[in-house]
Amino acid sequence: MTSAERHISVLGREAVEWLAPRADGIYVDATFGAGGYSRAILGVAGTRVIGIDRDRTAIAGGFDLVDSSEGRLVLVQDRFSNLAEICAAQGVDAVDGVVMDVGVSSMQLDQAERGFSFRFDGPLDMRMGQQGPTAADVVAGASETDLANIIYIYGEERNSRRIARAIAAARKEAPIATTRALADLVARVVRAKPNEIHPATRTFQALRIFVNEELDELHAALCAAERVLKPGGRLVVVSFHSLEDRIVKNFLAERGKVSAGSRHMPEVAQAATSFEILTKRPVTPDEAEISANPRARSAKLRAAARTAAPAHAEDALPDWPRLADVLRGG
């Protein structure tokens, strides 16, 4: 059994149903992973897929699917924020659909050497693309204030200051270089309660998001999808925590907003709606899927169809901590 067969996409059936691939269409699987979406799309006659993943391990794992696709699947190792440029490099100006499964994959979590999970002891790495600063670099080099902000903003951790203070004190004695060392440190600071998540969960989430610049990447990828989708083309996004889902929800709400105006106020020019929102409420997994895969519990799917209106101007992101600034002390 291959890794692709072992790892089943969360909300995979629903995502492909909302994507609604049609014969001879061109699609972007922006987070290839184990290839679940790509495999389903390729099941429709004549479809072509451009698969993107930052992780070279995922790309290597998809070579068998490339070989069996008879030229209909191309894999590119890159950030999904670059999907418009990736399409252009493949000679594709517009596509019929874009699907994204945002965040860390089960395969990455299951590899101790990647350092994403405290379930296994391994190097404190967390890099999806295996390039650039690691989580250990951030833990060693960020100021106590920056660490507290990172853990609070990206992990939504109420005890962020206590955790940052403990990290700052501990690293004076010895480097915090492994997942177990960090998890044990946080567990000593944040008391575990029965039936609650491990005390280090939010800290690990925060560092992973920060190291991989995931929220900036997501927003840029959504804007890129808006630029490359044909009228009627569909965008489908599966996210796994509130920060991601909020970005997707706000992006679609802004671009799908229709203002009725007011007869009491002067008319204000408004950009034409570039998306029709298809999922008025997010699609969530059923109990059977959650039982089979507890990771699915927090998943939310949102889908929208591109209109013929021009793409909107790219919105400014919040002024949250950024990797380059923090590591150079900015």
| Residue 329, pLDDT score | 72
Rounded Cα gap, residues 251 and 216, in angstroms: 13
Query: 179-189 and 201-211 are packed helices; what angle lies between their axes, rounded to 10 degrees?
Result: 130
| Residue 290, pLDDT score | 92
**Residue 131: pLDDT above 50?**
yes
| Residue 3, pLDDT score | 40
Q: How confident is the model at residue 104 (pLDDT cuts 50, 70, 90)?
A: confident
Q: How confident is the model at residue 2 (pLDDT cuts 50, 70, 90)?
A: very low
Residue (of 76, 39, 80, 81) closest to 56 by Cα position: 76
Name the β-bridge partners of 237: 100, 302
- Residue 211 near residue 138, CB atoms below 8 Å: yes
| Residue 6, pLDDT score | 42
